[in-house]
Amino acid sequence: MDDIGRYDEAFRWFDHAARTRRGCLSYDVRTDLGKLARIREVYSQELMRSASRLADAAGSSRHIFVVGLPRSGTTLLERILTGLTGVRSNGETDHFSRALLAAARGGGDVFQQAAAADPDAVAAGYAALADPGPRAHHIVEKLPLNYLYAGAIRRALPEAKILLVSRSPIDSCFAMYRTLFAAGYPFSYDLVEIGRYYAGYARLIEHWRTVLGDHLYEIVYEELVADPRRVGAGLAAACGLTWSDAAIDVKNKSSASLTASAAQVRRPIYGSSSGRWRQYREHLEPLISTLRAEGVPV
């Protein structure tokens, strides 16, 4: 229905599907919001300041983390990066969170224990998981949810590149709402819950901007699809990679994609999904009102 421009009918089915999926879940968005706030508390400015004094014993400059909300362009960015010489992607793995939790120590809640983890132990654990075979020049870890661990990544791998892909709030939220995820992202099946989660996410990202500074490299999705050569070349320079225009020919990449963007990355880079939400503005009022009430610029 969306493809042929019958937007009211399309939304009726989006809504029906989302309600059906939401009805199968036991979920309270307040729990996630509490976790996002707790991460901000634990990874304080003082704690993160100490990361600048950590040695790079693990050669962390080889590691590239692509993070951001799902459906924000993380898969596209991964495909561009793996089109450059010497870059390999592990795809979406939980390698870092596993290494972090294995090294967690001390008392308090899991957030305090993770923050108290020995950075060298986390780095060693992660390296064993992420690069068990022949040594790669650069390794991409493309798991959107690693935005939760940006502070821990900085502490354990002080020279790793953390690439944050951002997309306009309503486009981002509506893209998630339209997607049936295999697992995770339980907030994405209700417009109000998506809006509340996005606001909590935005507060966490603003915190990372403050405490990570230049160690957080941001890519705006709309700019990436509008001018992939310019944005891609800047990204490559930031990661210490040699740029090639061939990297943006993502449709001809032979590697598999198992994400919700698998169909999109078989096409040339396009920007037609930007502003797509405007066709559904009347239906998205609960989302828009929630974002505004939470102070998110829309």
pLDDT at res. 261: 47
Question: Total domain count for the chain?
Answer: 1
How does pLDDT run across 70-106, given as a tens digit for each residue? 999 999 999 999 999 999 999 999 999 999 999 999 9
How does pLDDT run across 262-273, given as a tens digit for each residue? 445 445 555 567
* Domain assignment present for 162: yes
* Domain assignment present for 37: yes
Identify which has the larger pLDDT, 131 or 207: 207
* Domain assignment present for 268: yes
| E strand or H helix that includes residue 64 | strand 63-67
pLDDT at residue 242 tops 60: yes
Q: What is the residue range of 73's domain?
A: 7-293
* Domain assignment present for 1: no
CA 52: distance to chain centroid?
Answer: 23
List the CATH number of the domain containing 159: 3.40.50.300
| E strand or H helix that includes residue 140 | strand 138-142
162 forms bridges with which residues in the sheet? 65, 216
* Domain assignment present for 229: yes
* Domain assignment present for 2: no
* Domain assignment present for 298: no
Q: For residues 17-40, give the mean pLDDT.
A: 97
Percent of the chain with pLDDT over 90: 81
Give residues with Cβ within 8 angstroms of 32, minimum separation 6. 187, 197, 200
